[in-house]
Amino acid sequence: MGDTLMEKDGQVKELHGGDPSTQVSLEISAFRKVFLNHDFMTLWVGQGISGIGDWVIVGVLLDSVYRLNSQWGLFWMMTFRFLPAFLFGLVAGAVVDRIERKTLLVLCELVRCALVVALAFANSLALICGLVFGIECFTLLFGPARDSCIPDLVDTDEIMTANSMMSTSTYLTMALGTLIATVILGIASLIHEFPLVRYVVANEAVFQRQFAFIVDALTFLVSAMLLFTIAFPKRSIHREEKLSARSIYVDLKEGLAFMVANPLTKGILGIMIVGFIGGGSLYILGAPFAKEVLRSEGAKFLLVISFLMIGIVVGAGMTPWMTKRMPVEKWLIRAVTGFGVIMLVFAFNDFYPLSLAIIFAGGYLLGYLIVSSYTLLHQNLEEDIRGRVFAAMQTIMRTCLLV
């Protein structure tokens, strides 16, 4: 009997089953079809480029803000980076469900490009925080819009593969973004050695910041140009009421009611809360824990975080094959339980080399959870509710990093 998957109305549909060798062949075929899908690959490349841009901003700002105000600068900058998720995270989903995906994606990239250019010339902490807040508001719109359109660009049997590629690139950009920022700052330092450049901008640190942000702005511009070429299907949702504060409020209320009532969505959101509180705790408590228990700090602690990220990337990349042997509907809860056990073992372990292996395994399961959860939602959500649900997912991810 084939494995099953719960749909939003409480019914089930067949997802797995059949000969294992046939399943592997189908998965290879799915990867081939996804790679040959011009629209999806354009979306994948575009969001990868702008994803790098997101994390380059963080890398450059960490250096710039520290120079401006080392005591409180980083605190306020990170506060304004995460504040939009608390204030507007769910509202963003209601907006996404009201506007054509292509229009919203391109608009978000162009606005972020302009704001990053402005960031290059910001010379006060207040202005930097305001611009970061604006960039994050449009990032909140971009994420759910991107996630919501995946089922419109690929066939149903390719959704798992598409989500695997999306998650892999997302967490790779997180790992590589700050490294790329360091490289850009280094290149800017070399360029500043030219007499003409030094004459125009005498201060090397100022030139580094301006150069890095202008290069970074180009990532959003390139992404917008790529997204503009995608042939998104016209949405079948036609709403009589125009976009307004009242319509957003009604849609938000409707979306929250759906998430509370729908067992699949409610279960997956709960799983994400557990997973990201566990993973996010490493960022808040990891440094003192590593110092006191593992007797490791600085580069050694960063290596622990790196192994978590590598585990997520590998787990996300392997999920399409794992689901052939580990059906999602059976292993999702087991993976959450396994992740909890791994974090518990990590907390009681004081041997540094073993901690790297443990945290890699935790990241692996977290990657599996992310891809599997997104796939279940993509396969079962109606088009007119996706934006609000994926906005809730995004809000959970961002919020749990600070809990």
The whole-number pLDDT of residue 129 equals: 92
Instruction: Pick the more confident residue, 83 or 245.
Output: 83
Does residue 22 lie in a domain region?
no
Cα angle value 261/253/255 (rounded, 5°): 50
The whole-number pLDDT of residue 237 equals: 59
Average pLDDT of span 106-126:
94
Helices (H), 20-69: 20-35, 38-68
The whole-number pLDDT of residue 197 equals: 85
Question: pLDDT of 340-396, one tens digit each?
Answer: 899 888 888 878 889 889 989 999 998 999 999 999 999 999 888 999 999 999 988
The whole-number pLDDT of residue 164 equals: 93
Does residue 24 lie in a domain region?
no
CATH of residue 104: 1.20.1250.20
CA gyration radius, the chain: 22
Determine the 3-state secondary structure of 235 from DSSP. Answer: coil
Does residue 263 lie in a domain region?
yes
C-alpha 265/C-alpha 252 separation (Å) is 15
Q: Would you tell me how many other CB atoms lie within 10 Å of the CB of residue 352?
A: 15
Does residue 297 lie in a domain region?
yes
Number of folded domains that form the chain: 1
The whole-number pLDDT of residue 181 equals: 82
Print the domain residue range for 355.
Answer: 4-14+35-400
Determine the 3-state secondary structure of 12 from DSSP. Answer: strand
365 and 335 Cβ atoms separated by less than 8 Å: yes
Res. 402: pLDDT tops 70: no
Does residue 20 lie in a domain region?
no
Mean pLDDT lowest among 23-32, 116-125, 219-228: 23-32
The whole-number pLDDT of residue 331 equals: 82
The whole-number pLDDT of residue 353 equals: 85
Mean pLDDT of the chain: 83
86 and 239 Cβ atoms separated by less than 8 Å: no
pLDDT tier at 10 (50, 70, 90 boundaries)?
very low
Does residue 19 lie in a domain region?
no
Res. 82: pLDDT tops 60: yes
Taking the model in full, what pTM does it have?
0.83
Does residue 191 lie in a domain region?
yes
C-alpha 132/C-alpha 60 separation (Å) is 12
Average pLDDT of span 57-73:
77
Question: pLDDT of 164-176, one tens digit each?
Answer: 999 998 888 877 8
pLDDT tier at 137 (50, 70, 90 boundaries)?
very high
Of the chain, the percentage scoring pLDDT greater than 90 comes to 37
The whole-number pLDDT of residue 240 equals: 57
Q: Tokens standing for 307?
A: 């192994």
The whole-number pLDDT of residue 288 equals: 64
**DSSP state letter for 296:** -
Does residue 183 lie in a domain region?
yes
Res. 219: pLDDT tops 70: yes
pLDDT tier at 6 (50, 70, 90 boundaries)?
very low
